[in-house]
């Protein structure tokens, strides 16, 4: 588990100096609710936000990179299992409507990679420490700095291992840009 934390901090320190001067960063805190008695907390750092508009059919596509630390818990208070994961993912989004003529609403998707501490978790053998982190969700911008999101997130090894049951989460998130 300590190796995972060291890797995450190294990634954070690598990306932070290059973009700190832009003041175009963000953080997020997420609550994860998974299958059965699986839940978690996710802390994310977004070192880069940008816009991609070279493909006309997509319109204006926003993109950010996200690095996260995930702490998952499974089971009851007197008998539970915990796991730690770190992940990095590019995330793409685009506004498709406005709520109450005030709050932009965006769809988002991303596919990244994650490193999970324990392959035996939540009564499953997930096959490998290396997993893909997939997301599909909605993001509502509250103002220029704050957002709330609702997502479906899926972790699996993409069939690279014969054991690939995957882990599914419903995710609620609060994000803040600075």
CATH of the domain at 25: 2.40.160.20
Q: What is the pLDDT of residue 9?
A: 56
Task: Clarify whether 156 is annotated catalytic.
Answer: yes
From the list 93, 156, 162, 173, the catalytic residue is: 156
Query: pTM for the complete prediction?
Result: 0.83
User: In this structure, what token pair is assigned to residue 147?
Assistant: 């957002």
* Number of separate domains in the chain: 1
Q: What is the pLDDT of residue 46?
A: 96
SS (H, E, C) the chain: CHHHHHHHHHHHHHHHHHHHCCCCCEEEEEEEEECCCEEEEEEEEEEEEEEECCCHHHCCEEEEEEEEEEEEEEEECCEEEEEEEEEEEEEEEEEEEEECCCEEEEEEEEEEEEEECCCEECCEECCCCEEEEEEEEEEEECCCCEEEEEEEEEEECCCCCCCCCCEEEEEEEEEEEC
Parent domain of 130: 2-177
Task: Clarify whether 125 is annotated catalytic.
Answer: no
Q: What's the rounded mean pLDDT across residues 15-38?
A: 78
Task: Clarify whether 79 is annotated catalytic.
Answer: no
From the list 62, 81, 118, 168, the catalytic residue is: 168
Q: What is the pLDDT of residue 70?
A: 98
19 close to 47: Cβ distance less than 8 angstroms: yes
Checking if the pLDDT of 20 tops 50, the result is no
How large a percentage of the chain has pLDDT more than 90?
Answer: 70
């Amino acid at each position: 588990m300590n190796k995972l934390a060291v890797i995450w901090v190294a990634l954070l320190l690598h990306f932070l100096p290059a973009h700190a001067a832009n003041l175009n960063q963000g953080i997020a805190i997420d609550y994860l609710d998974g299958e059965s008695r699986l839940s978690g907390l996710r802390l994310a750092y977004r070192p880069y936000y940008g816009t991609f508009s070279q493909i006309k059919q997509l319109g204006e596509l926003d993109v950010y990179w996200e690095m996260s630390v995930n702490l998952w818990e499974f089971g009851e208070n007197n008998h539970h299992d915990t796991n730690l994961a770190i992940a990095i993912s590019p995330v793409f989004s685009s506004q498709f409507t406005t709520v109450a003529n005030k709050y932009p609403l965006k769809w988002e998707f991303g596919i990244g990679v994650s490193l999970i501490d324990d392959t035996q978790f939540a009564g499953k053998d997930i096959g490998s420490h290396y997993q893909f982190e997939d997301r599909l969700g909605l993001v509502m911008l509250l103002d220029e700095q704050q957002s709330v999101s609702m997502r479906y997130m899926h972790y699996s090894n993409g069939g690279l291992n014969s054991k690939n049951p995957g882990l599914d989460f419903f995710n609620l998130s609060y994000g803040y840009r600075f």
